[in-house]
Amino acid sequence: MEESKEAAQNETVDNVSSKESTENRPTDAAGEVSSQMSAGVKPSEETEPRFVRLKLFDKVIQKSMDKFIEHVSFNRFANMFHPLYKKNPQRMESIHKQFIEELQKNIQEDISKLMEEGRLELKLNELDKLEDAAKSDPNPAWRPSGIPEKDFCSFLMPYYKKQEAYMLLELKKIKAENAALAQKVQAGRDSIAQTEHRISAAVDELKVSVTEFERLASSLRPADVFDV
């Protein structure tokens, strides 16, 4: 009797689990975009690629939600709380249903916050612009070569080249400034040398004047005249 009773309970659990899995499918996780798509709002031609990407994002979120909800199915929920389920199966079904609804609601709110914080629509607009620019670019798009070192170098080399060009330009500016300063220093030295030459010439002239003055004074005043 006990075995048949437990088998009947397990069968009931499986039936309820299949029912819950169909009833508790996750709703739209992409927020306003999904509601607009379901309401029949047809996007314009300019925003159609962005809406297509958001719709694809919504489908990916729904599939991920489905797989996640499978891990918290009623069968596992009932087996985890089997003693409580045996006492009141209907109550456990209600608890599981509320649990799934709250779980889906919290997950959808978190996804909406992440979309808002990450500015998903803005990034999709930027992706559209990059796609349009790539269509008009005749050069082939970059593809990984399979050699991480080579790919890493190909990514860094343009940056290093740009930095090298910037450093060479700054070096050229510094050399020009140093040359201008060197010219100013040389002009200052030349000015100092000329000033020293003029001072030396003035001192020599002063010495000559003093010598001539002493000679003149000695000729006007003989020594024997002043003897006492």
- Banded model confidence at residue 121, pLDDT cuts 50, 70, 90: confident
Write the Ramachandran bin of 8: left for phi over 0, alpha for psi from -120 to 50, otherwise beta.
Answer: alpha
| Of 169 and 25, more confident | 169
The pLDDT of residue 51 is 67
**For 204-225, how does the pLDDT look when each residue is reduced to its tens digit (9 = 90+)?**
888 888 888 777 777 776 555 5
DSSP code string of 114-169: HHHHTTHHHHHHHHHHHHHHHHT--SPPP---S-HHHHHHHHHHHHHHHHHHHHHH
**For 38-93, how does the pLDDT look when each residue is reduced to its tens digit (9 = 90+)?**
444 445 555 565 667 778 888 888 888 888 887 777 777 777 777 877 788 888 88
What percent of the chain has pLDDT above 70?
74
| Of 204 and 172, more confident | 172
**For 82-104, how does the pLDDT look when each residue is reduced to its tens digit (9 = 90+)?**
787 778 888 888 888 888 888 88
Extents of the domains making up the chain:
2-135, 153-228
Residue 8 is classified by DSSP as H
